[in-house]
Chain A
Amino acid sequence: MPTLINIQRAFSEVILCTTVPNGPMLVYHHNYRANFRSALALEFPVIETLVGKHCFTVLAQQYQTQHPSRSGDLHHIGEQFSSFLAQEYQHSPYAYFADVAVLEWAWQECLIAPDTLAVDPTALTACASERLPKVRLQLQPSLRLVNSKWPVVTIWETNRSDSSPTGLIELALGAEWALIYRTLGGAALRRCSAAEHAFLIALKAQAELESAVADAYAIDAAFNLGRLLEELFRDALITEVYAGVSPLGSGTKNT
């Protein structure tokens, strides 16, 4: 009598085989692909709109072959979809698909990231002015930053399921930057400038305020630090303010 492991090996081989089986095993063969495709489409609805349903099915099967699910929780399967698309569409007019997928995955990650309480602006304003340059700001763990040399934010906004496509988008519109952050009911996207993006990237890397500001000014001398900080506090995106030169986590917490 075959052992359990041998039966499961044989069963798996039929499911994974590219040849479609006859008879009832067809159901399992189909489910394996259909369940994966459905879950992937929920995570990348704009990619599905852009490529069309049939093409998305083909892409999902190719992606599943290269990156099969390793978890009983299908929410993880999209993690490498953008890099798969980058390879699939490199040197093609659709190379921007990969960056759209990066944005969609960032949205998904934002939705499920851990909750952290925000601090109010007094955490920063209470800090002595001479110490401000060395202050480090910790951002919400759910905050995601997106940038692309293509107008992916425009593409994403135009092709979301809850909006109607409004004509052709000229790729020559060029680079776009955005932050994706948690809101009470889900997530929101806000466009930002290249300088603001550089500032936030530096903060995410735990840079001191003066260093992050320098990165922003290197891109745009008109960078408005006060306005950006006001928006970050307003949207509850700052969770800690550390003063001093000590590394993050052991500094003086102004909360």
Chain B
Amino acid sequence: MIPTPQAKLCGVGLRAPHHHEWATRRPTCAVLEIHAENYFASGGAIPALLADLRRDYPLSIHGVGLGLGSSAPMDTVHLQQLKALVTRYEPTRVSEHLAWSTYNGMHHNDLLPLPYTDESLMHMVSRVTQLQDYLQRPVLIENLSSYVGFEDSTLNECEFLAALAARSGCSILLDINNLYINACNHGFDPKKFFDALHKTPVDEIHLAGHTIEIIGEIPMRLDTHGSAVCESVWQLYREALQHFGPTLTIIEWDTDLPALEVLLKEAECAEKITLESYANAN
């Protein structure tokens, strides 16, 4: 269904320092995104707050700790906790990453890049299928920001994502900031990414800020989620909307968190671009 201009599509990440303000002010927002692992607790004030907010806001539950691409078996306790969360809060979207995170029983608690090979693809298809079967609902898989590539990769990331979506039935969470970072760090044209995904469902978009640091004498863009969305990413977002149409969009901000008002203004900006995109398409 093509959303009408009246249907707001842009939201922000719900983060702990803003909990009180959300609880008391209830600002207008199309959707709240939560990081699943921060709400696994079965009792206490946090689940109570989320249940309260859920009455007024749709939720998008975004997992960051499952490590779907890990060669190690999936953590069944983690899966159970995720399912309990999904069952309790009935989110509009459930998503995870195209990443791995565990090896030999140790969890790196980071989103680590996969080589894009046939073996990895089969592995991810199997894992995403397992996740969807367990949750009994489709999930979205997010493209990753990465700082290294693998010589053994036989596909690029967008080909990998398109094949993953086609074979598993998942849809894509397109992080425009991640795409921009990768395009700069690895040297490719991000618009080709959109072309490669033209038959793939993109059901959510993320926007965030990043920084530039010198790593080994080379300037690299790092996915810090600690600043405003930069103009280049806004521009890429405009172009993404031309390809994929109006799409649920989340502003993510996780470090050096500013006042909630700053996040809401970023969401307003995304909303304005969405409306312009809608007007242009009609």
Contacts and interface: CB of A to CB of B under 8 A. Distances in A.
Contacts of B103: 8-9, 11-12
A24 B147 contact: yes
A189 B100 CA distance: 40
B119 A27 contact: no
A185 interface: yes
Q: For this complex, into which size category does the number of interface residues on chain A fall?
A: 35 or more
A52 interface: no
Interface in A12-62: 12, 15-16, 22-28, 31-32, 35-36, 39
B89 to A, nearest CB: 16
Interface string A65-84: 00011111111000000000
Contact of B120 (A4, A31, A71, A113): A4
A32 B45 contact: no
B215 A27 contact: yes
A11 B216 contact: no
Contacts of B215: 23-24, 26-27
B222 interface: yes
A22 B112 CA distance: 17
B49 to A, nearest CB: 9
A221 interface: no
A142 B45 CA distance: 12
A142 B44 contact: yes
Interface residues of B, number: 50
Contacts of B185: 24
Contacts of B66: 72
B117 interface: yes
Interface string A188-215: 0000000000000000000000000000
Nearest to A71: B107
A27 B211 CA distance: 13
Contacts of A110: 44
Nearest to A2: B152
Interface of A: 1-5, 7-9, 11-12, 15-16, 22-28, 31-32, 35-36, 39, 68-75, 110-116, 141-142, 182, 184-186
13 contacts: A3-B119, A4-B71, A4-B114, A8-B71, A11-B112, A15-B108, A24-B216, A26-B216, A27-B222, A69-B109, A72-B107, A73-B78, A74-B65
Given A75-B37, A75-B40, 13 more contacts: A3-B119, A4-B115, A4-B120, A8-B103, A8-B112, A24-B216, A27-B215, A28-B147, A35-B109, A73-B37, A74-B65, A111-B46, A113-B42
